[in-house]
Amino acid sequence: MNEKNTKRISKFLSLILRHQPEKIGLKLDINGWTSVEELLNKSSNNGVSFTKEELDLVVKTNDKQRFSFNEDKTKIRANQGHSLKNVTIVTETKTPPPFLYHGTVAKFIPSIKENGLQKMSRQHVHLSSDVETAKKVGSRRGKPIILTVQSGVMHKKNYEFFLSENGVWLTNLVPTEFINFEDL
Ligand code: HQG
């Protein structure tokens, strides 16, 4: 399978396993899992055909490890990034490093200054442990601006942090007083 095809399937999986399973008549359980066999069948019925081996390869080689199988590989889910309200991926709360980073773009800064970092359409605010990754996240929307979040201070004040299976730090809200806006 070529890279273009892998990417196409990965994008399709993100859509179905995070946002719109109903698009192909699929149901996710409350932990985000769905049957691999049903996913293969229903995708194919809706014009997106791939084999179990191809799915395996997409999950294994995905650049951000977006998806996981359960132990016996009968079920699959997205590790994070859901907008579906009735899916919760349980991750343990974890002590974050002193600083985490958020990549965004200039047009959002006035609103972030006023309201802090909000979940917007996702279930959590997504933060990166390194500047490089945050830059990539911001670049999806234009020239990236990197905000530094005082996660250590927030943690001391009892804000909860979660670490997703693929290494993304998640929290519910970053109030503006914990964001460094210097130079902006
Ligand atoms: C911005 C991708 C105005 C926020 C990435 C961001 C990441 C505000 C956008 C993951 C705001 C939301 C998440 C406020 C936040 N006012 N704008 N108060 N608070 N924003 O896509 O962090 O490929 O939901 O800065 O690589 O960009 O999907 O979040 O620009 O890991 O796996 O509102 O998604 O990963 O956008 O990206 P998103 P994000 P995947």
pLDDT tens for each residue of 137-161: 999 999 999 999 999 999 999 999 9
Query: How high is the pLDDT of residue 181?
Result: 87
C-alpha 51/C-alpha 181 separation (Å) is 48
Inform me whether the pLDDT recorded for 183 exceeds 80.
no
Q: Which of 104, 111, 119 to mutate to test the pocket of ligand 1 (most atoms within 8 A of CB)?
A: 104
Query: How high is the pLDDT of residue 1?
Result: 82
What tens digit of pLDDT does each residue of 45-73 get? 999 999 999 999 999 999 899 999 999 99
Write out the CATH class of domain 100-180.
alpha beta
Q: Could you tell me the end-to-end alpha-carbon distance of the chain, in angstroms, rounded to an integer?
A: 44
Annotation: CATH topology of 3-78: Arc Repressor Mutant, subunit A (1.10.10)
Average pLDDT, the chain: 95
Query: Residue of the nearest CA to atom 26 in ligand 1?
Result: 137
Closest ligand 1 atom, residue 116 Cα: 18
Query: Residue of the nearest CA to atom 34 in ligand 1?
Result: 81
Distance 6 CA to ligand 1 centre (A): 24
More confident residue, 37 or 184: 37
User: Average pLDDT, stretch 88-108?
Assistant: 93
Domain residue limits, the chain = 3-78, 100-180
Distance 137 CA to ligand 1 centre (A): 8
Residues with CB under 6 A from ligand 1: 64, 66, 81, 104, 108, 111-112, 115, 117-118, 120-122, 126, 137, 141, 168
Name the percent of the chain lying above pLDDT 70: 99
Distance 125 CA to ligand 1 centre (A): 7
pLDDT bracket for residue 90 (50, 70, 90): confident
What tens digit of pLDDT does each residue of 17-28 get? 999 999 999 999
Contacts from 33-37 at CB under 8 Å and sequence distance 24+?
Answer: 33/70, 33/75, 33/76, 33/77, 34/75, 34/76, 34/77, 35/74, 35/75, 36/69, 36/73, 36/74, 36/75, 36/76, 37/74
